[in-house]
Amino acid sequence: MSKLFLAALVLALSAIELQAQNSTTHQHEQADMIDGSAHPELIPDAVAYRLYFVVISENPTPLPNESRRQHAHLQRAGLKENDIRAAATVLANFKVQYALLLDQYSKSPEVLRNSSDGLPLFIVKRDAIVQATRDALKSALTPSGMASFDTHIQREKTMMKVAATEVQP
């Protein structure tokens, strides 16, 4: 009987150990960040433009306070009135396309089965929208307006914190 008891005790302890090992289920890594206030030069332009566009873009028919806010941001970027109007149209297009892409990705089979397998393709499409928006701004704005805009984005990197995976994927 004592042997049986000992065997049961060993089995119980093994089970507890196994349970402890499985406590790693749904484990997360600590996020590494690039702090733009310390190292703005490490933040890629594609990331900086994307974050800026996400913040200042408004819907094609914005509310009055949304228009005021966007106007203030674009004025701070050094744009004159005609360039602000042109940029607002381009940025509205960005907002629509970005929202559509995020919506499509959220409904993708990969995301629905908790997989990031579709992420590389999503990132390609996301960055293509950002680049297309930059190209559209270049066409729509005056050269001096675009130069001010580009300078502004470089300055704004100091206000960004970017995931290290965006810098070295």
Partner 1 sequence: MKSRILLFSLFFLILLVLPTPNQAQGCQGVMSPSYSTYTSLSLDSSLHIYTTVVVDGSTVIHQSEYCNIGGATHKGSVYNKLGSTGGWVYGPPVPPAQYFAVTNPQEIIGVPGVVYTDTTQADVLCSFVGGLFNSGPGNSLIKIGIANYILESWDSTNCTYMLYCPNGNTAASCPTATVVDYGGMQAEIPCNQLNYHWVYTLVFNGKCFPISVGVGTTVAHICQ
Q: Which residues bind partner 1 (CB under 8 A)?
A: 1, 4-5, 8-9, 11-12, 15-16, 18-19, 21-22, 24-29, 31, 33, 47, 50-52, 54-56, 65, 68-69, 71-73, 75-76, 98, 102, 105-106, 110-116, 119, 122, 126, 155-156, 159-163, 165-166
First to last CA, the chain: 60
Report in angstroms how near the CB of residue 116 gets to partner 1 at its nearest.
5
CB of 11 to partner 1, least distance (A): 6
What is the Cα–Cα distance from 20 to 36, expressed in whole angstroms?
Answer: 40
Nearer to partner 1, 83 or 156 (CB): 156
How many Cα atoms are found within 13 Å in the side-chain-facing hemisphere of 115? 7
According to DSSP, residue 114 is labeled T
Query: Least distance to partner 1 from the beta carbon of 139, Å?
Result: 24
Q: Give the list of residues 6+ apart from residue 152 with CB closer than 8 angstroms, or none.
A: 76, 77, 78
Using the minimum distance from each CB to partner 1, give the nearer residue, 22 or 139: 22
How far from chain centre, in Å, is Cα 101? Answer: 12
Between CA 18 and CA 21 the distance in angstroms is 5
Tokens of 91: 């940025």
Among residues 105 and 132, whose Cβ is nearest to partner 1? 105
Residue 37 or 89: the one with the smaller Cβ distance to partner 1 is: 37
